[in-house]
A and B are shown apart, each in its own frame.
Chain A
């Protein structure tokens, strides 16, 4: 892993918030590596089935990458947004790999939703969720953002609201409807002319 100082992480976050897309590209591999490392370490310590705290994981990655002091909330909030995107990428990568592997005969286990009976816990369903989320992002970017932060970064309603600078009430309502839309698209499929292909 290329060495990077906390100051650089801060700078990259600041650049990204000003609209510099290349800053995100530089942040991405750092965060990705750190998240994977932490997750792996956790998994080797705990027996399978032990729940990882999403926010705790991201916090740890953040503190590792950004150092322990001198960070304003905005940087931290952006970092969560980065993490959410990174997590989503990681998951999709693996789900694709698993899906391919399964077609080759191996079984996989992705426990996406323990209580949902209809959305399967298969990699294909996870990919379907990603598809649905892409569609949602296209027609309603705010909903897409909310889902990304809530689901992939494990943020609470209040944290999401703070980050997006909207009221918690809005987040709650949007989140509710997003879930219904995603749920519908996954169970029914998004079979109409605007549906984006899985690999666009």
Chain B
């Protein structure tokens, strides 16, 4: 091309480049006209321009330096004195740039030459990626056993995928030479960085150290040892991220002496001794690397190998890092020295523990970063502080106390037991009952008796459905008919308690002659009487009994009753029957039907029937859709959870994942409280029944303990893997950390939420619709403690309360986890669980007006779990169950207030404990009062 022609082409080439690609053709048409040759030339230049994008971009000095440092041997230039010819000359390289290996890798250049062999940069022509190819020394490839070991190692190493580990892709062979293809990391080796700048600034060093630990942990997790961890094997990529390279490969050294000449400076004592290596050996090397990162100095510095080996074999300890870097965080020095322990057993157990011990180290974050499940100990040791500021703690405590006061105050308008005249204590009623039994002619001394409280739900339902007056519940105060009643049983022979179910109004069955059962209203008036007649007729007195006694004990005037034909079948044989109709003296609008029967002169049956007393249809059981649906759902959930958790627990046990210690402690705790409950609350008798009672109860106790153990073994590891932060305080409590501020904080916050939930779900859901003009709903009658009175009822209550809180806490947490696994999004899972809980709670209420309150309650509970985790939730549930297991009252003189007061004392003690520990020793009042 002539220069003037060249200039013309260049000119048009420039002009074309100025234009948009799509406009160039038209432009060239115009300027070139008929000169097709010119046009072709310009188009060709445009084509070359595209290809030349990356052309001559590299640093030419790199090339120059290479050429200068390693001149070819026969140099005919006058500069022969230049670089000495070393054995490391690039002319020894097996491949030159441009060579294509195995039809796939085109060599780009030699990256380096390690102890093992050459490393090339190459282009993977198939996948269009840069890779690094590491060639193995001939000494290895010739050794079949070593080669086999190497293949095994690579097969494991290529499974390791971690952002801080350089990926191994494959192993291949080219003309008898084996090489590994690995990820090509654009960056700098830590060794050269350290050489350039000395030590790293401390915060950067901590960052690098942590990434290093995460990467090494990921390698160890797969069962691979690095064996040659040193700064030269650690890359910092272009983003400054750490990449560990060459792991496991050092194991292939066949020649021990050669291996020693590699990097003995970074070897563990056991490695120098030629002993078997473990992950702890890598931890030692890690310690040396950390030493260098933080100080810029080698821990063991020696000029010759022999000197180094001497130094290492002697008991010399490295200079304290803080002598080089006085401002070094003592934590760093401590963890480095722990890694450098001569005895492997004294070194940190894992790279993650090293990370955790670094300043600001969060073992959980380290574990999660390594894709590993943190151990329960690590969860408990998380650096999360729960200390509350005094002002916050005080206001939480104050809110709890205020909520308790509100709950006690509002009980008057909501609770059934506040509307029924509960003036007489159960002991008074019991004495009256046994008097009555004697009066009715059963004078033989009883060897066993039992009593309790019962609830007439049918009466409440009847009023609810038939009385439209706003004051409809006020008449409960007359006590007759009885919404809450007292029952008493006695037997000539100890009760059969072998079923383990204890003694209640209906169990064991009334089938032993002489056994009597009666019920009184809460003011002591007779409601019903049942006696089992003797098995054999005495044939003696069969005179008509004196029915008037029964009437007078019932507080009814027999004269005002009309005799009618008996219609209700007495439960036992009788020789005389009678029936009357009339009304209650206080409530003449309630019509009653009185039935009585006698056997040979003694009453065996007395009962007052009201309109709502209908014979129970045996088939009507579970007729209500809501109840049926609820029970079906509960059963399905229970069975699924049982089977699923058993399978999972077995799997976790096999994999060694479960928290055995925690699960055992939990199970032992549940066993203990259930055993205590049985001891305190069961009906004990001094007969052989007691042994059977014990056995059945132990079965029950063992079942629950085991059930909780299984559930905990099954699900806890998943929570620990995904949401360790939700079980930090729980793990601490389980590990005995009672004084931990975080534990205290969660208990305190939980208490607040639990009490808030009571106010919302119990009081507001009941009272707000009433304030808005709806008819008052049935008073809250859930009062299981009525079955058991006195100190026994309290023991029962507190144990039930604890267990229910535990069980429900787990169920909610594990449900959230299951839903999360299905839906994949944490917030969505929380929302779904909230929805389920809101619907379930709404179903337990009888009215649609309660739905908003049920929803808010569910929100409180789920949000608490979501935000504060398991322990706070359990605490909240514990307080929430106050309403179920204790007779909440503001009338502290009532005989039943004792239970509530005790429950309150326990609750307040717990809250106070939470308050105290959450302060973590801070003074409540700091210094003087503010200046005026």
Contact = CB atoms under 8 A, between A and B. Distances in A.
Q: Is B a genuine binding partner of A? A: yes
B10 A181 contact: yes
Contacts of B188: 50
Contact of A90 (B55, B68, B189): B68
A188 B454 CA distance: 106
A118 to B, nearest CB: 7
B108 A97 contact: no
B1 A194 contact: yes
B77 A115 contact: no
A68 interface: no
Contacts of A26: none
B64 A39 contact: yes
Residue among B14, B44, B49 with the most chain A CB within 10 A? Answer: B49
A116 B91 contact: no
Interface in A70-116: 87, 90-91, 93-95, 97-98, 100-101, 104, 106-116
Contact of A182 (B52, B60, B108, B113): B52
Contacts of B195: 45-46
Contact of A113 (B51, B55, B61, B82): B55
Interface in B68-86: 68-77, 79, 82-83
B436 interface: no
A33 to B, nearest CB: 9
Contacts of A101: 72-74
B98 to A, nearest CB: 5
Contacts of B105: none
Interface string A7-50: 00000000000000000000000000001100110111111111
B73 A117 contact: no
Given A40-B83, A51-B59, A87-B64, A97 B97 contact: no
A117 B14 CA distance: 25
Given A109-B93, A110-B67, A54 B48 contact: no
A144 interface: no
A95 to B, nearest CB: 7
B65 A120 contact: no
B66 A110 contact: yes
B62 A51 contact: yes
Contacts of A106: 72-73, 91
Residue among B66, B79, B110 with the most chain A CB within 10 A? Answer: B66
B10 A177 contact: yes
A140 B10 contact: yes
A109 B90 contact: yes
B45 A180 contact: yes
Contacts of A98: 67, 72
Residue among B44, B59, B111 with the most chain A CB within 10 A? Answer: B59
Contact of B48 (A47, A110, A183): A183
Interface in B1-41: 1-3, 6-7, 10, 13-14, 17
A94 B123 contact: no
Interface residues of B, number: 63
Given A47-B189, A48-B113, A94-B71, A194 B93 contact: no
B195 to A, nearest CB: 7
A109 B68 CA distance: 12
Contacts of A183: 48, 51-52, 55
Nearest to B232: A47
Given A40-B69, A139-B7, A111 B58 contact: yes
Contact of A111 (B49, B97, B192): B97
Contacts of B232: 47
A192 B49 contact: no
Contacts of B112: 47-49
B48 A49 contact: no
Interface in A170-198: 173, 176-177, 179-184, 187, 192-194
A53 B59 contact: yes
A63 interface: no
Contacts of B64: 35, 39, 87, 90-91, 94
Contact of A112 (B56, B69, B72): B56
A94 B109 contact: no
A104 B60 contact: no
Contact of A97 (B75, B83, B88): B75
Residue among A113, A117, A192 with the most chain B CB within 10 A? Answer: A113
Nearest to B9: A181
B1 to A, nearest CB: 5
A114 B66 contact: no
A166 interface: no
B63 interface: yes
Contact of B61 (A44, A53, A187, A194): A53
A62 interface: no
Contact of B65 (A39, A151, A177, A194): A39
A151 B52 CA distance: 14
B57 interface: yes
Given A48-B112, A94-B68, A111 B63 contact: yes
B3 A43 contact: no
A111 B62 contact: yes
B732 interface: no
A138 to B, nearest CB: 7
B640 to A, nearest CB: 58
A66 interface: no
B54 interface: yes
A111 B192 CA distance: 21
Residue among B1, B10, B55 with the most chain A CB within 10 A? Answer: B55
Interface in B197-251: 232
Interface string B165-206: 000000000000000000000001100100100000000000
Contacts of A36: 68, 79, 82
Contact of B57 (A95, A113, A182): A113
B90 A48 contact: yes
A5 B72 CA distance: 33
A117 B123 contact: yes
B106 interface: yes
B121 interface: yes
A7 to B, nearest CB: 27
Nearest to B109: A111
Contacts of B57: 113, 115
A37 to B, nearest CB: 9
9 contacts: A44-B69, A108-B96, A110-B63, A113-B56, A121-B98, A173-B17, A179-B55, A179-B56, A192-B1
Interface of A: 35-36, 39-40, 42-54, 57, 87, 90-91, 93-95, 97-98, 100-101, 104, 106-122, 126, 129, 138-140, 147, 151-152, 154, 173, 176-177, 179-184, 187, 192-194
